[in-house]
Structure 1
Amino acid sequence: MLANVLLKTLRDQGRVLLAWAVSLALIVATYAAIWPSVKSQPSMSDFIDQMPEAFRSLFATSSADMSTPTGYIQVELLSFMGPIAVLIYAISAGAGSIGGEEDRHTMDLLLGNPVGRGRVVVDKFFAMVLGTFLLAAVIGLSLVIEGNMADLVLPPDKVAAAMLHLALLGVVFGSLALGLSASTGRTGLSRGIPAVLAVLAYIVNALAPLVEAFRRIQKASPFYQYVGQDPLRKGPAWDSVLVSALTIAVLLALAVAGFRRRDVAG
């Protein structure tokens, strides 16, 4: 088992992933249960329309119509709760992948097996990716299954597209956390920096329509790749998927290089 770092990591994260999955399914169930009361209150959409543009821009899309299932989910789930949950998991998994082993003094035992450092990083990366995509899939399946029970009907293909973009958002910042963890071995730093950058990326994307300086760099924000082309309405944006995938590949390569060149504390 130790020789297969991927399986070991997934085994170690099994209970955590189960807890995350159950919690996310319950959160979606809560939103689905509230939907019937929201759709009967057209004043909710009017309230959002009357908000200052700066506040409306903080939602997944400023044109979201709360009286429709798509608009409701965009505002209530995909603007804040969904990204926050996936980012917390992915960043924590990435930061703990290498630094966590060192904090627990298990890295010497792991590297004492017939696995190279590059293999350790790659397997840890794939464990983080699988966990992140699993949680996104739980959210998507819950939206379709639980939503149908509450007349919150969403096209399954559009939900799948939105979850693909959501998972990639998490993996981008999870890969950054992994890279910092592999290069420094410091879990606190590896969590803190990606978290701060995620907030900044969110602000840049949200306020780009209002701030000229942000507009110029908006497409560099991972949050633009997440919601910039509205996948819940339009389906997957493959150019954004490609940008996210390339970003992840670069961060993974840097993580492997960083781990190979430094001294490792057991």
Structure 2
Amino acid sequence: MTRSVFTQTLEEQRRGLIGWSIALFAVPMIYVPSYSTFKEQGTLDNIKGGGIYDALGMGDVGGAAAGYLHSTMFALMGPLLMVIFAITFAGRSASQEESGTLDLLLAQPISRTGLLLQRFAALAAQTAIVTTIFGLSVLVGAQSANMEIPAGNILAAAAGVGLLALTVGGVTLLVGAATGRRTLTLGVAALVAAAGYLANNLGAMSDGAGWLRKLSPFYYAIGDSPLMNGWNIGYLGVLVVLIAAAVGVALALFDRRDLAV
């Protein structure tokens, strides 16, 4: 039974995982190669000159190629899709209590802690899969558009977005473990993600509000401009700590709570 909850979760969600994998491969392949066209038309210079990069907190990203890739994939589309993916998949665990299927799992020789850990392990594996697909798709698109951005930097940015998604997934798991209510779980997780996104962007636009960025997981995922600077193990480590903390609290709450089963 130790492996069955993990594998059962992957089996139950395999269609959704395939669909998300296709979407996270297709989106970069649609947007990233368009860089060549925008560059020839001079559109990118107009956008940067209009202050849009600064408004999105991308003034320090670097050249046109890095700015375009960051704005489309790593400051907007990538985090948005990955966070929705994590919330959706992590939130499904909360619905088992409402539907009454949780008691069937707990009737097996497995502890609550073991059950939740395996659920998180499945989420981590799924997140790793879609992150890898997303990163490789961006890498292929960037090469086809002759962006000349180091592959390692692109993978560093993808890793940041992946850990960001898993952080939000951990928070979703925590709320689900505390409440057992799917609607509330999804709502709170979405609110936390939106607050983090706004804190990162608002902090970037105002010198006096720069401290807000350090409260946001988005900052530690993409705030150090990995497309220009490469891997920042310290920032990624912060996300790992946040994930561990969320899962740890979720385990404690789930183990002690009176379950509605």
Taking structure 1 as the reference length, what is the TM-score of the superposition? Answer: 0.90
1:246 maps onto 2:241 in alignment: yes
Provide the rounded CA distance (Å) in 1 between the counterparts of 2:63 and 2:104: 53
Q: 8 Å contact 2:175–2:189 — kept in the other structure?
A: no
1:157 — aligned with what?
152
Q: 8 Å contact 2:57–2:204 — kept in the other structure?
A: no
Q: CA deviation at 1:152?
A: 4.3
Question: What letter matches 1:35 in structure 2?
Answer: Y
Q: CA deviation at 1:32?
A: 3.2
Q: CA deviation at 1:171?
A: 0.9
Provide the rounded CA distance (Å) in 2 between the counterparts of 1:23 and 1:209: 29
1:186 — aligned with what?
181
1:218 maps onto 2:209 in alignment: no
Provide the rounded CA distance (Å) in 2 between the counterparts of 1:43 and 1:65: 16
Provide the rounded CA distance (Å) in 1 between the counterparts of 2:198 and 2:85: 20
Provide the rounded CA distance (Å) in 2 between the counterparts of 1:222 and 1:122: 22
Q: CA deviation at 1:212?
A: 5.5
Unmatched segments (≥5 aa) in structure 2:
none
The alpha-carbon distance between structure 1 residues 246 and 67, as it changes in their structure 2 partners (threshold 3 A), is closer
Report sequence identity in percent. Answer: 28
Provide the rounded CA distance (Å) in 1 between the counterparts of 2:213 and 2:9: 35
Say which of 90, 93, 100 aligns to 1:94. Answer: 90
2:53 — aligned with what?
56
Q: CA deviation at 1:3?
A: 5.8
Provide the rounded CA distance (Å) in 1 between the counterparts of 2:17 and 2:172: 18
Q: 8 Å contact 1:175–1:251 — kept in the other structure?
A: yes
Say which of 68, 75, 87 aligns to 1:72. Answer: 68
1:259 maps onto 2:254 in alignment: yes
Q: 8 Å contact 2:61–2:228 — kept in the other structure?
A: no
2:165 — aligned with what?
170
Say which of 225, 234, 240 aligns to 1:230. Answer: 225
Q: Please give the secondary structure, in 2, of the residue aligned with 1:236.
A: coil
Q: Please give the secondary structure, in 1, of the residue aligned with 2:58.
A: coil
Q: Please give the secondary structure, in 1, of the residue aligned with 2:108.
A: coil
- Cα deviations by residue, 1:64-102 (Å, 9 ceiling, x for unpaired): 46742x2211111111110010000111122212x1212
Provide the rounded CA distance (Å) in 2 between the counterparts of 1:14 and 1:59: 35
Worse-matched range after superposition: 143-152 or 158-167? 143-152
Say which of 108, 112, 128 aligns to 1:113. Answer: 108
1:143 maps onto 2:138 in alignment: yes
Q: 8 Å contact 2:172–2:186 — kept in the other structure?
A: yes
The alpha-carbon distance between structure 1 residues 12 and 213, as it changes in their structure 2 partners (threshold 3 A), is farther
Q: CA deviation at 1:23?
A: 1.2
Q: 8 Å contact 1:95–1:187 — kept in the other structure?
A: yes
Question: What letter matches 2:19 in structure 1?
Answer: A
The alpha-carbon distance between structure 1 residues 241 and 163, as it changes in their structure 2 partners (threshold 3 A), is same
Question: What letter matches 2:92 in structure 1?
Answer: G
The alpha-carbon distance between structure 1 residues 226 and 5, as it changes in their structure 2 partners (threshold 3 A), is same
1:129 maps onto 2:124 in alignment: yes
Aligned residues: 261
Taking structure 2 as the reference length, what is the TM-score of the superposition? Answer: 0.92
Question: What letter matches 1:89 in structure 2?
Answer: F
Q: CA deviation at 1:213?
A: 5.7
Provide the rounded CA distance (Å) in 1 between the counterparts of 2:140 and 2:191: 34
Provide the rounded CA distance (Å) in 2 between the counterparts of 1:56 and 1:93: 32
